[in-house]
Chains A and B, each alone.
Chain A
């Protein structure tokens, strides 16, 4: 069996692209644990029908641990998903279109980074009564 032709080859010569190649794999392993755990908790252990804004403040984000967990997940997924889509854009476009789409992609990532960080830091911690 030969090596798969459809695997993204490790970039030669180091620098930015090589760092991204390693970081995609590093964040990928982290997400294997973080994203699957997050999905298991919020889609299997807790039924979505029982979730609302109150559930987030009084249960899900009532501890620093789960806020830190979800924020770490956000950081990993923003890097992994946006650098992944950057590769997709690079595969199907070129020139000015590629540059514009990639710039839009980075702006969207920054926007989501700010929104996610703001809500995880500012949402009041409410310990449920009783």
Chain B
């Protein structure tokens, strides 16, 4: 499987990372190099092998339904690049 420029563009868009047109081809080269290297896994027979879900062999812990957190909007907004009237402010979605 080899990635073409259109695929790099599509992945970059999915990941919301702007890539200059000039940088697309080198990036495709690097990604293809890595992908062709990891494709060695195809050699491993994994028939009937379950995927590893967690190395921790324990029950999923559950929290009691009690309000123990929140109530500090200043702390939540403290690092915001832009906040107005208690809201985070972001550029509008442009259609």
- A-B complex is real: no
B: residues with CB less than 8 A from A are none
A: residues with CB less than 8 A from B are none
